[in-house]
């Protein structure tokens, strides 16, 4: 078995092994076409990998993500061979998540009106800022509500941290409607699948995708959480308070959600 095959056999994910094999073979082909010789992985230099990176960017015009995937395969294989070649890939710029407008969110919620369970889930993400993984871990006992206020104990967040999240009137109303309809004796999980089993993250992702299709909007669970953060800032909630609600330990993380809309930018210059 050659060194590349030995390395690929150590990878636990068949998909990763397939992608890395293609990336390494692609590099070897480029190297041979460029130099006229077969690549000697043990003598490969950083200059040659930089030349390859430039080729991928300027000649093939690949995206930063595609270039970095190929470089990741090279780095991993070279580490396996005991090499410590350091080559920086192009910086990936993650486009900001687009928050839903009030009209888009209204259409999404309208599409779910036939299901109290789904309406409650959508409200928790869009009006309380929960992550999809936090929603599926909720238990009935995590909900505290009275006539004028409500709180939710959120577990299963990043870092296994627990926090209390305030619930506005619309979220309380949606949760009450679901709790009134939720089957008795169904266990501790707040949300159940159609078969009575606990919901999975994939169940919620599929549900959001289906309502988004019906409503004619682009939305994912993360879009809904981002929508909550955007609306909170627009209503004057300070970043530190928002970070506490969202469960962020660093304000810089919260800052990634804050992308002013065109309307807000226009409002900012009016009257100056």
Q: Which residues are catalytic?
A: 131, 158, 222, 225, 248, 257
Beta strands in 127-223 (DSSP E): 143-145, 150-154, 163-166
Q: Which residue pairs from 136-141 have beta carbons closer than 8 angstroms and sit at least 24 positions apart in sequence?
A: 136/191, 136/198, 136/199, 136/200, 136/201, 136/203, 136/204, 138/189, 138/190, 138/191, 139/188, 139/189, 139/190, 140/179, 140/182, 140/188, 140/189, 140/190, 141/188
Instruction: Return the C-alpha torsion angle 113, 114, 120, 124, nearest 10.
Output: -50
Distance CA 90, CA 56 (A): 11
Distance CA 108, CA 112 (A): 7
Q: What tokens does 164 get? A: 């209390």
Q: What tokens does 55 get? A: 């080729």
């Amino acid at each position: 078995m050659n060194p590349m095959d030995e390395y690929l056999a150590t990878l636990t994910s068949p998909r990763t092994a397939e992608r890395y094999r293609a990336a390494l073979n692609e590099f070897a082909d480029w190297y041979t076409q460029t130099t006229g010789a077969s690549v000697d992985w043990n003598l490969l230099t950083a200059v040659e990998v930089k030349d390859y990176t430039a080729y991928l960017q300027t000649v093939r015009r690949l995206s930063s993500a595609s270039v970095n995937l190929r470089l990741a395969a090279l780095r991993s294989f070279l580490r396996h061979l005991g090499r410590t070649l350091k080559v920086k890939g192009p910086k990936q710029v993650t486009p900001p998540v687009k928050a839903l407008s009030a009209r888009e969110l209204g259409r999404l919620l309208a599409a779910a009106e036939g299901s109290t369970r789904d309406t409650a889930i959508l409200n928790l993400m869009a009006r309380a800022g929960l992550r999809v993984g936090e929603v599926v871990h909720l238990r009935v006992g995590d909900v505290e509500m009275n006539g004028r206020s409500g709180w939710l104990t959120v577990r299963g967040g990043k870092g296994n941290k627990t926090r209390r999240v305030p619930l506005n009137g619309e979220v309380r109303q949606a949760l009450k409607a679901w709790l009134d309809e939720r089957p008795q004796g169904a266990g501790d999980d707040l949300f159940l699948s159609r078969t009575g089993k606990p919901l999975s993250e994939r169940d919620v992702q599929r549900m959001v995708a289906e309502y988004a299709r019906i409503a004619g909007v682009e939305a994912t669970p993360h879009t809904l959480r981002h929508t909550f953060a955007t609306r909170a800032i627009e209503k004057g909630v300070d970043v530190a308070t928002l970070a506490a609600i969202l469960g962020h330990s660093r304000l810089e993380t919260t800052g990634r959600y804050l992308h002013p809309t065109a309307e807000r930018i226009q409002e900012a210059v009016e009257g100056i």
